[in-house]
Chain A
Amino acid sequence: MRICTASPLAGISEWTTLVSKGKLSFSLLIALLIVGLFVLFIFTIAMGRYDLGAGDVFFILLSRIFPFLQIEPTWTAVSEVVVLQIRLPRIIGAMLIGAALATAGATYQGLFRNPMASPDFLGVTSGASIGAALAIIMERSFTEVQIFAFVGGLVATLITTSIPKIMRNDSTIMLILSGIVVSGLLRSVMSFMRYIADPQTALPSIVFWQMGSLANVTPQEVMAISIPMLICFVVIICISWWINIMSLGELQSAVLGANYKFYRRVGIVASTVLTVLAVAIAGEVGWVGLAIPHFGRLLVGVDNKRLMPVCILTGAIFMLIVDTFARSLTTAEIPLGVLTGFVGAPFFMLLIYRQKTRLG
């Protein structure tokens, strides 16, 4: 392998050439990502303040998935509780949320013909924050905060998508403008809520919620989000090739006989559900939905049919790594949104650096 020190992304650029020149097939890349994700999955469960061996983790999971193997426990009961009750839900949650945000971001970018679109493009995140803040101010339980956030995110998206209908202008640019207006307005509402929130109790909770965290995620919540998320992944993969055509605009779609409005609606609904579920569980987690699709394009090109599976896998891998840092880097939890920003923003800059010839 050629060693190149000139570009900080030399490794990635070699990968890209490998995939695009057909030397590394797409299926092999997917296989490698799946293996990588699985290895990370086992090792990140082992990592943390309570020390576990990767072997123990593997056999604990194996004994649960295939009880008929009757594996003799060589681990302590505490290890089993840590693996199954504490780390496993959190790690599955992290993978789902990373995959969801990356896929929603890629879908929005394709549908809105805008490489700068992110999952909170239509005001989902701002709406969810208001929902959560409302529940916190009303001193509701943690689960209710999540439900309020979910509803808030949906309501915000509904407002954003209704404005173009009220204005009788169904163009995509109108929807983008509507998203900007609604997000802006909701951010002001959010500031107001923070202003009136009790600075001793509610305010810190709101602020912490907004920074994003998976610290309190429960197995039930992960179960609750996983099925709708999986359905949305399947839907997006089914329309992924058509998103290519949508990205050429409404006129080109019509000329090719593709129902632009139908695919736009399906894409928006699926991406919104993915985003709102992710945000309801984890709070505001920025940069993943913007940066991961760009990283995916660097690996396999812009064809959404290839991009979506890659986004699901790399989004999961990215979030798994970041969340492991969040829970084990220091003795206290580091907010997830803070870390994704620290990692995501410079990473995005590197991606832009790599694409510099194509900008401007």
Chain B
Amino acid sequence: MLEVSKISFSYKPTQTVFTDVSFRLEAGQIMTLLGPNGVGKSTLFDCLCRLKTPDTGEIILAGKPIASYTMRQLASVITLLSQTVQSVFDFTVLEYVLMGCAPRISPFGSPAAQDYEEVDRVLAQLGLSHFADRIFTELSGGEKQQVSIAKAIVQRPKIMLFDEPTSFLDVGNQQKIIKLIKEMAATGYSVIMTTHNPDHAIQLGGICALMHHGGQMTIGQPESLSGEMLSEIYGTPLKLVHVPEVGRMACVAK
């Protein structure tokens, strides 16, 4: 579905963000991206959405190089769920989710009856029907994330990029989003998600990618993560311990 080979990106010749990043992602697969702040996780996402162009390397999306897509076509294959969407206007949840229809709407047109129906259906599917008339900016962090996922579903992409979807959320809401992302992958979406919590990588399974300070990326199964690797990239002593009560490994700080 997504094939990234040897891409590198730098803002200035002296300021390399990442180099030689390669990975493959199949339909329905989840990849969790771990790495310290400022290491270039968001920049990588921007490259995948063609908001930025890598200096070298190639990104093949659904069999075609990413450069051969128009922005409109690209938006119906891949979408990015940003950490924070700020709106100065009080859009209702319905109006906000409806914007996800944009790639299918003619450049001088507006949503038709079937688009409204689709939004209603997606909101119902996520159990958000009662939110339809609420003001998006007034929702809590967890509710906003769910509504953003609804908007992404309406966009009908094949790949969803989640940029730190669990930041600013309490533990309960974090788990809700993790569960939702698992369900999304089960229905066939490919998902890449960045997170600051290594436990999320272990919970989600799939592939786990670590981004190092120098901009290199190592890829493996979450099972192959080790306390040493995490300690090194985050620069603080971390341990991976097996917690029998939950039946999985957990990352704890010393």
Name A's B-contacting residues (CB within 8 A): 20, 110, 113-115, 238-242, 244-245, 247-249, 251-252, 254-259, 262, 297, 301-303, 305, 358
Cβ contact within 8 Å between A115 and B88: yes
Q: How far is the CA of A115 from the CA of B88 in the complex (A)?
A: 7
Given A259-B71, A301-B90, A254 and B51 contact (CB-CB distance below 8 Å): yes
Cβ contact within 8 Å between B99 and A248: yes
Contact with A along B49-79 (1 / 0, CB 8 A): 1010000000000000000001111111001
Given A254-B49, A255-B79, A239 and B108 contact (CB-CB distance below 8 Å): yes
| Identity of the chain B residue whose Cβ is nearest the Cβ of A249 in the assembled complex | B86
Point out the residue from A113, A257, A302 that lies within 8 Å of B91, measured CB to CB: A302
Q: How far is the CA of A242 from the CA of B109 in the complex (A)?
A: 8
Contacts of A297 in B (CB 8 A): 89-90
Within the complex, the shortest CB–CB distance from A237 to chain B, in Å, comes to 9
Given A257-B103, A358-B90, A248 and B85 contact (CB-CB distance below 8 Å): yes
Cβ contact within 8 Å between A255 and B110: no
| Identity of the chain A residue whose Cβ is nearest the Cβ of B106 in the assembled complex | A238
Contacts of B221 in A (CB 8 A): none
Given A20-B133, A238-B108, A244 and B71 contact (CB-CB distance below 8 Å): no
Contacts of B107 in A (CB 8 A): 242, 259, 262
Within the complex, the shortest CB–CB distance from A351 to chain B, in Å, comes to 14
Cβ contact within 8 Å between A252 and B82: yes
Contact with A along B102-119 (1 / 0, CB 8 A): 110101111100000000
Contacts of B72 in A (CB 8 A): 257-258
Contacts of B15 in A (CB 8 A): none
Cβ contact within 8 Å between A257 and B89: no
Cβ contact within 8 Å between A303 and B85: no
Cβ contact within 8 Å between B95 and A302: yes
| Interchain Cβ contacts under 8 Å between A and B, 12 examples | A113-B88, A115-B88, A239-B108, A240-B110, A248-B87, A249-B86, A255-B51, A256-B100, A257-B71, A257-B75, A258-B71, A302-B95
Cβ contact within 8 Å between B88 and A258: no
Cβ contact within 8 Å between B88 and A257: no
Contacts of A254 in B (CB 8 A): 49, 51, 71
- The secondary-structure label for the interface of chain B is loop
Q: How far is the CA of A256 from the CA of B151 in the complex (A)?
A: 10
B177 within 8 A of A: no
Given A245-B99, A248-B85, A303-B91, A255 and B109 contact (CB-CB distance below 8 Å): no
Given A240-B110, A244-B95, A255 and B89 contact (CB-CB distance below 8 Å): no
Contacts of B79 in A (CB 8 A): 255-256
Question: What interface size band does chain B fall in?
Answer: 20 to 34
Within the complex, the shortest CB–CB distance from A310 to chain B, in Å, comes to 15
Query: Which residues of B113-136 have CB atoms within 8 Å of chain A's CB atoms?
Result: 133
* Given contact pairs A248-B86, A358-B90, a sample of 16 additional A-B residue pairs in the complex whose CB atoms are under 8 Å apart: A113-B88, A114-B88, A244-B91, A244-B95, A244-B99, A247-B87, A247-B89, A248-B85, A248-B99, A251-B51, A254-B49, A255-B49, A255-B75, A257-B70, A297-B89, A302-B89
Cβ contact within 8 Å between A251 and B99: no
Cβ contact within 8 Å between A303 and B102: no
Q: How far is the CA of A135 from the CA of B109 in the complex (A)?
A: 42
Contacts of B102 in A (CB 8 A): 242, 245, 256-258
Within the complex, the shortest CB–CB distance from A334 to chain B, in Å, comes to 35
| Identity of the chain A residue whose Cβ is nearest the Cβ of B104 in the assembled complex | A257
Within the complex, the shortest CB–CB distance from B135 to chain A, in Å, comes to 8
B80 within 8 A of A: yes
Within the complex, the shortest CB–CB distance from B114 to chain A, in Å, comes to 15
B29 within 8 A of A: no
Q: Among the interface residues A110, A241, A256, A258, which one has the most CB atoms of the partner chain B within 10 A?
A: A256
Cβ contact within 8 Å between A115 and B80: no
Within the complex, the shortest CB–CB distance from B184 to chain A, in Å, comes to 17
Within the complex, the shortest CB–CB distance from A85 to chain B, in Å, comes to 39
Contacts of B74 in A (CB 8 A): 257
Contacts of A115 in B (CB 8 A): 88-89
Contacts of A245 in B (CB 8 A): 99, 102
| Identity of the chain A residue whose Cβ is nearest the Cβ of B73 in the assembled complex | A257
Contacts of A259 in B (CB 8 A): 71, 107
Contacts of A252 in B (CB 8 A): 82, 85
Within the complex, the shortest CB–CB distance from B250 to chain A, in Å, comes to 34
Q: How far is the CA of A257 from the CA of B155 in the complex (A)?
A: 10
Q: How far is the CA of A115 from the CA of B90 in the complex (A)?
A: 11
Contacts of B75 in A (CB 8 A): 255-258
Query: Which residues of B13-38 have CB atoms within 8 Å of chain A's CB atoms?
Result: none
| Identity of the chain B residue whose Cβ is nearest the Cβ of A259 in the assembled complex | B71
